[in-house]
Amino acid sequence: MTKRFYTFIIVPNASSRLHKLRLPIQVMYILAAIGAISFFVAVALGFSFTKMAFKVADYNSLQAENTELKVEKKNLEVSTKKLSTKLSDLETLSAKLTALIENDEFLKKQRGKNSVGGTKTDYPTADILKEISELDINVLKDRANDLENNLTLLQQKAEKHALARRYTPTIWPLKGPIGSGFGVRQDPFRTSDSETHLGLDIQGMFGAPVHAPADGVVIFAARKSDYGNLIIIDHGNGVTTRLGHLSRFRAQLGRAVTKGEVVGYVGMTGRTTGPHLHYEVRLNDRPLNPRKYLPEGE
């Protein structure tokens, strides 16, 4: 077998001498193979380098992001701590309000229902004992929900309280000295030794305005023997008030009146020795001492 060659003729510039390069064909194949392998290695290296460059860029941006996140986390911690403190303040305030409303003597009388509550979920103890962070966002959420429920209850109670107060005779129909209190007293007309006084006699100038002691409806406004000109106001829940010896009426029969509204004027109609207001408070038509509802020291 004859050896085959490739001959390369190299012509240098501005020279008449030729360089001849004779290479066997096997050497050509080997060179071609080396060239091809070198090309693929170079391409692979190029890819690898590009990938690395992207990774480095990614790493740098991640590090920057990480630093930012750390700052954000710190800020979040500070805000959460502040939120927790704020919630604690609100919880304290809510507890104080609850105590005020729960211990209010007036509201205690209005209340009859037992307080109930509790959980419907069976929480395993292990779950409860699981360490929870004070700053756990879920704990904060629960606390905020509790607070909202509590405040809603308080609002309902306060509204009920305000409504009940409007219909309870808690203000004086007339400001003045008490001429005669509730209960057994000497007969002012000396026709007998003693009698039971069913209300308060409040002294006042003839014609002085007499106010409704609570919201209600006028169910009587006419002359009635010893009472003289009498107004009876129905305040609901079995509570009625009577205002006697009036000189004139202002409120009309069947009309709704509001607490403090002028319903008549002081007079001396009926069985009286001088101008004053006879004031009665009745619960289920049983006379009570009106002072029971009135503010102390007035």
Give the interface with Zn ion as residue ranges (CB under 5 A).
Answer: 201, 278
**What does DSSP assign to residue 237?**
T
CB of 184 vs Zn ion, minimal distance in Å: 13
The residue with its CB nearest to Zn ion is: 278
Q: Looking at beta carbons only, is 94 or 267 nearer to Zn ion?
A: 267
CB of 256 vs Zn ion, minimal distance in Å: 26
CB of 160 vs Zn ion, minimal distance in Å: 33
C-alpha dihedral over 202, 204, 208, 212, to 10 degrees? -10
- Bridge partners, 23 (sequence order): 6
Q: Which amino acid is at 262?
A: V
**What whole-number distance in Å separates Cα of residue 117 and Cα of residue 238?**
32
Q: Looking at beta carbons only, is 167 or 220 nearer to Zn ion?
A: 220
CB of 201 vs Zn ion, minimal distance in Å: 4
Judge residue 277's burial from the number of C-beta atoms within 10 Å of its C-beta, 0-12 exposed, 13-18 middle, 19 or more buried.
buried
CB of 158 vs Zn ion, minimal distance in Å: 36
**What whole-number distance in Å separates Cα of residue 111 and Cα of residue 108?**
5
Helix (H, G, I), strand (E, B) or coil at 56: helix
**What whole-number distance in Å separates Cα of residue 59 and Cα of residue 43?**
24
Contacts of 298 (CB under 8 A, 6+ apart): 172, 175
**What whole-number distance in Å separates Cα of residue 49 and Cα of residue 290?**
98
Q: Looking at beta carbons only, is 164 or 268 nearer to Zn ion?
A: 268
Q: Looking at beta carbons only, is 157 or 276 nearer to Zn ion?
A: 276
Q: Looking at beta carbons only, is 147 or 268 nearer to Zn ion?
A: 268
CB of 287 vs Zn ion, minimal distance in Å: 11
Q: Looking at beta carbons only, is 211 or 278 nearer to Zn ion?
A: 278
Distances in whole angstroms, Cα of residue 261 to Cα of each of 117, 236, 251, 267 = 43, 17, 9, 18
